[in-house]
Chains A and B, each alone.
Chain A
Amino acid sequence: MDLLPPLPVVIPLLGAALLLGAPRTMRRQIVDGVALVVALAVLILCVVLAMKTSSGRLVYWFGGWKPRELGGRPIALGVSFSIDPLGAGMAALAAGLVCSALVFSWHYFKEVGNLFHVLMLVFLGAMVGFCLSGDLFNMFVFFELMSVAAYSLTAYKIEERGPLQGALNFAVTNSVGGFLLLTGLALLYARTGALNLAQIGHALDGTHLDGLVIVAFVFLMTGFLVKAAVVPFHFWLADAHSVAPTPVCMLFSGVMVELGLYGVARVYWTVFEGPMSVHIPQLREVLMAMAVVTALVGSVMCLLQHHLKRLLAFSTVSHAGLFLLGVALLQPKALGGVAIYIAAHGAVKAALFVCVGILLDRKGSVDERRIFGRGRDLPFTGVLFMLGGLALAGLPPFGTFLGKGLVEEQASELGLWWVPWLFVAVSAMTGGAVLRAAGRVFRGWGEPPEFDPTSLEEGHEDRETGGASTRTRLVMLAPAIALLAAALVLGILPSVPQRAVRGAVAFEDHRGYEAAVLGLPAASRAGSPAPLGSSFSSVLLGILGALLAVTIALIALFKHLLPEAPVEWVRSRLSPVGERMRTLHSGHVSDYIAWLTAGVAALGGLLAAALR
């Protein structure tokens, strides 16, 4: 039997156990080295899996418990890994980001032994398992393992108030999400007697949507959407990001949030597509509505932030909205675009966090007002940060532009003319916020900030590295360069769109998935998609987005040079809205859970009305 599929989960978990058992006095370089080698091995294995599965799905049954047939119905007795290119690709993204985070943190956390590495490896193993699993309950278990590792990593600096509170908010909100996920899973089990995704899907095929299935769908979606930080389930994200150590933020923004969306897509296409395929227009509308609100709330909040980690966190919220919008189109081309967009965004966002981490290391703060103009002696970091901002805005030929373009094309084909403009506006706003911060910190552009340096309005952050560094270490800069280069390569390699869309076609092939997992006669509808390239209009939109981002940044920086009357008019109109949105993000976990409950009710009501 082929032993390849379980390895990328087994290796990091074993590595974590090994490091946990190792003596605390072990040399730091050895710990770093072991963790990095393990993460690299996982990366290579995941890439191999993605390559191997491009010609067909790979199904691995643990213990050799293959499905049997009973009374004409296939029964999955065992637990499976059902691997396809997009799943393996997400796993590879997770492994790649863990590698760069480990390189970046080479000099981090000197005093605390091996625990950081142990948690990172557990986190990696859980993420990979979540991507490869073909069993709904195992997805839940990996999801929870990933979450618990994430909570502990958030609270890593346990001596400070901010991380404690951020981790509490994060853990409580996501745990409630996890329990809702489990409730949905239980309801599906009650209906179908199955936990394997393919078998649940097979049992639901040809049935009519009824109340139970809709409720199960709502609970499962909510569980994943909490992780995906979709409004109104997003509140935990900024709190967790603003207090977590920088290498951890790279993983949270780069891949963990996106795994929530992966869960939504995976469960929809394997389980619910049968009964829901007749309701696609209605389902699309509901999901798109959530996505648009998320994208707008995220980008507005992003512009309002001064704390750089919080700023990047809200940019992740708005991008999660864009990804959900792409998934909500329910078309292979859009899903392929989202896959590229997620990979490129993950790399770019992680690179931006690396730059923020360097600032924190050198300047001891990540508040753009506090370190106004003090980044002038870090020109190279500044250039990388600005490049990251432009890539976030969708500048060609970064991979973000390519993925965004595919989604935009698909939306236009569906007659949704406003979607490309929304993409341009939202990515320009988040890119603009990053560029504005870059201008202030690295160039000292704009008015010097007027604020009382003793007031600590937002979570004050201590250095993570112990003592100020006098120069930027190469191991800190290298991940940023490599990640931006990866985002660029994704956008340039001509085979990328073709591969992604082919992967998306396989991903959305409900019947093909059932056939491959349950050993049924193949009835695949998967054809090969038409050749793809970025069209002229999407290049124009990409450039427009980048220009718009620069304009937004320049207006934000130099508004004191503009005529006073119109600026004042705009400010008086916009600032109450901004203030109200800021007060909604109250930092109280009770409020977050109230929002979550309201969100579940709203989503359930909308779907019940739309799908009946």
Chain B
Amino acid sequence: MSVFPFGVAAWLLLTGIYGIVTSRNLIHLVVCLSVVQSSTYVLLLAIGYKSHAAAPVFLNVPLATPAVDPVVQALVLTDIVVGATVTALLLGLVVQTHKRCGTLDPEALQSLRG
């Protein structure tokens, strides 16, 4: 088991957050949020991964055959659905923001403070 995928997950998390913090464009910001979420995909898949193991389909193979963990794969699928929902909703809000305010720069939106 390699440390590499966990490093990738941590890197995705941190770059995504860095992107959100420094973003000057709302679409860029929403995509950065997706990057943060990708880190959870990588992390989950890495946790369930086994070297030299088959896909978890036990058709015509003995039950003791090593296989990767199917549970985390199901979690990743659910996670992707959650991510798609959130991203779609946010992009919808961004489109609407552009219609109303004519800008995508978060610094230029000043209707809430204090």
B82 touching A589 by the CB < 8 A rule?
no
The distance in angstroms between the C-alpha atoms of A305 and B113, with both chains bound, is: 11
B72 at the interface (CB under 8 A from A): yes
How distant is A584 from chain B, measured CB to nearest CB, in Å? 9
A-B contact count (CB 8 A): 131
In the docked arrangement, what's the CA distance between A180 and B5, Å? 17
Interface hub of B39, B107, B113 (most chain A Cβ within 10 A): B113
A459 to B44, CA, bound (A): 41
Closest to B10 in A: A183
Tell me if A588 is interfacial: C-beta within 8 Å of chain B: yes
Once bound together, how far apart are the Cα atoms of A158 and B100, in whole Å? 9
Decide yes or no whether B51 CB sits under 8 A from chain A. Answer: no
A195 at the interface (CB under 8 A from B): yes
- From A170-178, A443-451, A497-505, the one touching the partner chain is A170-178
Note all chain A residues with C-beta closer than 8 A to B22.
590
CB-based contact A590/B23 at 8 Å:
yes
Q: Could you tell me the distance between the alpha carbons of A171 and B109 in the complex, rounded to whole angstroms?
A: 16
Q: Nearest A residue to B40 by beta-carbon distance?
A: A182
B110 at interface, CB cutoff 8 A: yes
Indicate if the CB atoms of B29 and A190 lie closer than 8 Å: no
> Contacting A582 at CB < 8 Å: which of B17, B29, B44, B114?
B114
Nearest chain B CB to A112 CB, angstrom units? 15
Asked whether, in the complex, the Cβ of A164 is within 8 Å of the Cβ of B100, the reply is yes
Which chain A positions have C-beta within 8 A of B44? 182, 186
Residues of A contacting B113 in the complex (Cβ-Cβ under 8 angstroms) = 458, 582-583, 585-587
From A37-45, A144-152, A467-475, the one touching the partner chain is A144-152
CA distance A186 to B79 in the complex (A): 12
Instruction: Assess A183 versus B39: contact at CB under 8 Å? Given A162-B111, A195-B71.
Output: yes
Picked from B89, B107, B109, the residue with its CB within 8 Å of the CB of A151 is B89
**Interface residue A106 (Cβ < 8 Å from any Cβ of B):** no
CA distance A586 to B29 in the complex (A): 17
Query: Binding site of B, secondary structure by majority: helix, strand, loop or mixed?
Result: helix
A109 within 8 A of B: no
Beta-carbon contact of B101 and A589 below 8 Å: no
Within 8 A of B (CB), among A287-317: 304-305
Q: For window 136-168 of chain A, which residues contact chain B by CB distance below 8 Å? A: 137, 141, 144, 147-148, 151-152, 155, 158-162, 164-168
A167 touching B93 in the complex, CB below 8 Å, given contacts A160-B100, A593-B21? yes
Q: B20 to A587, Cβ gap below 8 A?
A: no
Q: Pick the contact of A166 from B82, B107, B112 — CB < 8 Å?
A: B112
From A166, A172, A183, A585, contact of B13 by CB (8 A): A183
Contact B47 A189 (CB under 8 A): yes
Tell yes or no: A80 within 8 A of B by CB: no
Alpha-carbon gap, A102 to B90, bound state (A): 26
Complex contact B17–A593 (CB within 8 A): yes
Given contacts A166-B112, A589-B20, 7 further A-B contacts (CB under 8 A): A161-B100, A164-B93, A165-B109, A189-B71, A587-B113, A590-B20, A590-B106
Q: List 5 A-B contacts (CB under 8 A).
A: A147-B86, A152-B89, A176-B20, A189-B72, A585-B114
Residues of A within 8 A of B (CB): 137, 141, 144, 147-148, 151-152, 155, 158-162, 164-169, 171-172, 175-176, 178-179, 182-183, 186-187, 189-190, 195, 238-239, 242-243, 304-305, 457-459, 582-583, 585-590, 593-594, 597
